[in-house]
Amino acid sequence: MKLHTLEAWSLRDLIRDGSVTSTDIVESFLDQIRARDAEIGAYITVCGEQALEAAKHSDERRREGRTLSDWDGIPAAIKDNISVKGVANTCGSHMLAQYHAPYDAHVVSLLKQAGMPILGKTNMDEFAMGSSTEFSALKTTRNPWDRQKVPGGSSGGSAAAVASHQAPWALGSDTGGSVREPAAFCGLVGIKPTYGRVSRRGLVAFASSLDQIGMLTHSVRDGAALLQLLAGHDELDSTSVRREVPSYESVLGAGASGLRVGLLGGASQQGLQPEIHEALEQAACFLADQGAEIQEHAFPLLDKAIETYYLVATAEASSNLARYDGVRYGLRVEGSDTGEMFRRTRSEGFGPEVKRRIMLGTYALSAGYYEAYYRKAQQVRTMIRDGFLELFEKVDVLLGPTTAASAFGFGEKPDPLQMYLTDIYTVPANLAGLPAIHVPVGLDHGGLPIGLQITASPFAETNALRSAAVLETFARNRGWNR
């Protein structure tokens, strides 16, 4: 039995009935990492010894008849902007290449408290700024479906690790689609929870009002389980919401009967790859056949989402990245005086995309332009959120594309604007703080995964997961097999 090919739920059942041990499972994934990661490049740091030690402790607990959780002994991979104590936390950047986290992120603490070994830290676009993982300063990550294609970004390493069976599931971060787009390109389920549903403490900030930790899994059921484990209030995170966490698994079999599903017409479906457009139409018909009520709505403000996002995100990035100055932590490049040290550190420490976004954000926040750009973007953002809230009085979920096309090749989008436009379908959920889930539904004519996105109202992850489970049935009926 190839343990590394199984979903987390299957591994949990095997370890529970005594068929395998946590050590067996972790060794299977470490063997797969040794066999495949040289060509895939999913991991920046592999924590083999630590993972095996954690697995050993899990097996000892199980022999003694005590377990820490249902997932005790099931390993996970972590994006390299989420802190794991004592492990390099590079953010895919030369700036933090030698930095080791002094504490665990809240979500990592929850994993460890559940008895879950950490397999390693995964590659990413530098400081999570990118849509392809081409902007990692440390290594190249390739799409397991086609080595000439990108895995998506910025959580490309996490997606590639799960898709190539080097981890049963993984954590990523989603600021403008950085969990859902890699999920789309690599044929996985990608979940971005409501802003505030999962603690951000220990996540290195890109854009603080947009960042949210999410999960990449092989199935909606695995995603629901991981969200269940991580959701909840964290008193040390001021953006964490004190709100009851429902049972996510319990809604997965509820079906589509009575569900109000919205479709957004007009520009929201223009420019789609034919296979994605066809899948969207077929999925709407399937949901209707299963008892859902399909509604079509217009949302003209969505046309402004991409420019609004890139003003807000770059402004917050400019502010957040000011802390990397060569003084407190991270890279330090000496100079003749403090000013030169500061300039040389930031010039050598940051890559071109990070510098571009810092400059864009600094410009938007500068005197004379703040009102015209950043303030105006925040006003439009509020209008977009209000528009969504009004829409969700009429529908339970929105069904739409996650990306306009399947994975593209390395170097195919040298123009930054072209790269930014790949986020056109994912950034609205971040601007409005909504939960959104990508579900794979098939392959295009080139054999690459395609999928669709379900978006729900704030803290209505149950509606999104319920709908996503129905989409999984639709995908199986179309012959989807990961």
Q: How crowded is residue 98: how many other Cβ atoms within 10 Å of its Cβ?
A: 11
Catalytic residue among 79, 121, 192, 413: 79
Beta-bridge partners for 189: 217
Active site (annotated) includes residue 268: no
Closest Cα to residue 216, out of 282, 160, 272?
A: 160
Residue type, 55: A
Catalytic residue among 58, 93, 132, 154: 154
d(CA 210, CA 281): 30
Residues 156 and 133 sit within 8 Å (Cβ to Cβ):
yes
Active site (annotated) includes residue 79: yes
In the chain, DSSP finds a helix count (H) and a strand count (E) of: 15, 11
Active site (annotated) includes residue 336: no
* Residue 286, H or E segment: helix 274-289
d(CA 15, CA 407): 35
- DSSP labels, 403-441: -SSSPPBTTS--SHHHHHHTTTTTHHHHHHT--EEEEEE
Residues 198 and 155 sit within 8 Å (Cβ to Cβ):
no
Residues 223 and 234 sit within 8 Å (Cβ to Cβ):
no
Q: Dig out the tokens for 270 from the structure.
A: 């223009």
Residues 165 and 191 sit within 8 Å (Cβ to Cβ):
no
Q: Is the dihedral of CA 467, 132, 364, 350 positive or negative?
A: positive
Angle (CA) 361-365-368 rounded to 5° is 135
Burial of 344 (0-12, 13-18, 19+ CB in 10 A): middle
d(CA 473, CA 467): 10
Catalytic residue among 136, 178, 268, 318: 178
d(CA 230, CA 109): 10
Longest distance between any two alpha carbons in the chain, whole Å: 72
Q: How many CA atoms lie within 13 A of 182 on its CB side?
A: 46
* Residue 38, H or E segment: helix 22-40
The sheet carrying 436-443 orders its strands as 43-46, 118-122, 76-79, 169-173, 213-217, 189-192, 436-443, 449-456, 397-401, 260-264, 293-297
Catalytic residue set: 79, 154, 178
